[in-house]
Structures are given as structure tokens and as C-alpha cells.
């Protein structure tokens, strides 16, 4: 899916992107991509929610940021959504959290779409 193909859904869209990485540079780049896409979608009228809006605030705290720690929070948030959109940055297909979110979306009969990201 690219931005030209997006039909504006009436409900909430859960936006997924991998977060954790050993490299702070990778994490920072993922958040830059997430922020850019979130702003673009919001400006188009897409109502997005994501645990990334909260989890990134916890970066410099002692609160653990792993999918095991946050899975209940993520699933509760996803229960309010109609669709899951996955941002396909490098590592999305290996991410424990993204894989679990896709599985949960399918289990709860939510539409799943993939947003391609140009590398760079």
C-alpha cells in the first residue's frame, strides 16, 4: 500500500513498526519514519493509534520496553481498532512485536495492510 492507494477508513487504525534494536541509531531512524508516516496519515484524516506514541516516551526510564512487557497494552489498544497497518522498515518481518501484532489482528479478524517505506 502506498499513500496514493489509501482509502480513509472510518474507524481507528493501529499503526505497527518495529522498535527495539541494539543500535540507538536504528531505533532513532525507526521513530523518525514512524513520526513522518503518522503525521502524513493524520493530515490525510486517518485516525491512527499506536503504542509507539507512549513507548518512545519511556526510552530514558527504567521501564522495560519489550513486547512481552507491553503485549496486553498493545492488544487492548488493538481491540479498539478496525485495522492494523504495518510500516515496513528494515526488520519489520523479524520483529517479535510486529509478528505478534499481525497474528493478533488476524485472530481478531482485523484487516491487515502493509505500508512500504522507501529505503534511505
Domain residue ranges in the chain? 3-116
| Percent of the chain with pLDDT strictly greater than 90 | 60
pTM, rounded to two decimals: 0.87
What is the gyration radius of the CA atoms in the chain, in angstroms?
14
CATH superfamily membership of 3-116: Hypothetical protein PA1492 (3.40.50.10400)
How is 64-116 classified by DSSP, letter by letter? ---HHHHHHHHHHHHHT-SEEEEEE-TTTTT-HHHHHHHHHHHHTT-EEEEEE
By the 8 A CB rule, do 86 and 16 touch?
Answer: yes
pLDDT tens sequence across 39-72: 999 999 999 999 888 766 766 777 766 667 778 8
- Sheet holding 111-116: strands in order across? 47-49, 12-16, 83-88, 111-116
What grid cell was written down for 27? 531505533
Candidate from 7-11, 34-38, 76-80, 109-113 with smallest mean pLDDT: 7-11
Gap between the Cα atoms of 80 and 94, Å rounded: 25
Amino acid at each position: 500500500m502506498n499513500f496514493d492507494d489509501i482509502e480513509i477508513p472510518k474507524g481507528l487504525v493501529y499503526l505497527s513498526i518495529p522498535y527495539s534494536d541494539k543500535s540507538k541509531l536504528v531505533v532513532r531512524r525507526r521513530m523518525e519514519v514512524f513520526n513522518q508516516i503518522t503525521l502524513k496519515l493524520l493530515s490525510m484524516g486517518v485516525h491512527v493509534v499506536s503504542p509507539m506514541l507512549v513507548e518512545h516516551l519511556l526510552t530514558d526510564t527504567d521501564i522495560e520496553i519489550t513486547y512481552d512487557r507491553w503485549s496486553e497494552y498493545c492488544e487492548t489498544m488493538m481491540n479498539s481498532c478496525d485495522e492494523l497497518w504495518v510500516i515496513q522498515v528494515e526488520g519489520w518481518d523479524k520483529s517479535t512485536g510486529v509478528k505478534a501484532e499481525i497474528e493478533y489482528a488476524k485472530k481478531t479478524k482485523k484487516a491487515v495492510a502493509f505500508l512500504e517505506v522507501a529505503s534511505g
